[in-house]
Homo-oligomer: A and B are copies of this chain.
Amino acid sequence: MELNDVVQRVLGNIFVELEASGRHVHVTKAQAQVLFGHPLTPKRPLSQPGQYLANERVTVVGPKGQFENVAVLGPERSAGQVEISLTDGRTLGIAPPVRLSGDIAGTPGAVLVGPMGQVILNEGVICAKRHIHMTRSDAARFGVQDKQVVALRTYTARPVVFEDTVVRVSDDFATYVHLDYDEANACGFVNGDLGRIVK
């Protein structure tokens, strides 16, 4: 084994890599058809297996403002969803609840505008609750279970311990911490920074 591989393997027993998720949208197949006139097309893969950044972009409109050119992530899902930071919420005039992805019942809505049409989401605007994607083998190694709430220390320019961080375990995942940009900036995150589960 090369030295670099050894280092990576040791680090992987202690740390989890951090990623910052910018504002983005998920759409259904029907919504993609309305917005773009065709299904989503992949531009580049994301860290989570099978997930991709689409070539398609939308404008997200709220009561007080809008964001143009917002990323759409594929593949299509069973419900439309808009994931924004609390900072973004102030710009849009929407107060998103802090929820795990997919947990959208009773959340605020927004309007999505694409090049071919627009879609009114009656619900689906959330601030993604910080979470750790983990494979089953990594979860076993770190001694944590699906849905477990942990505290995560960031090894970043402005170190922070994020309490109430939810672990999500699936062999469909790659092991990464997902923060939103408020959290990423609050801890001074740059690409490649690491975190550690501290309790």
Contacts and interface: CB of A to CB of B under 8 A. Distances in A.
A42 interface: no
Contacts of A31: none
A153 B186 CA distance: 14
A182 B98 contact: no
A87 B163 contact: no
Contacts of A157: 98
Contact of A158 (B98, B159, B187): B98
A: interface residue count bin = 20 to 34
A162 to B, nearest CB: 6
A144 interface: no
Contact of A182 (B159, B163, B164, B182): B182
A94 interface: no
Nearest to A189: B86
A181 interface: yes
Given A87-B87, A185-B87, A185-B182, A161 B158 contact: no
Contacts of A98: 157-158, 188
A34 interface: no
Interface in A135-168: 151, 153, 157-164
Nearest to A97: B157
A160 B158 contact: no
A193 interface: no
13 contacts: A85-B185, A86-B188, A87-B182, A87-B185, A98-B157, A98-B158, A98-B188, A153-B163, A159-B164, A160-B161, A181-B182, A185-B186, A186-B186
Interface of A: 85-87, 98, 130, 151, 153, 157-164, 180-183, 185-188
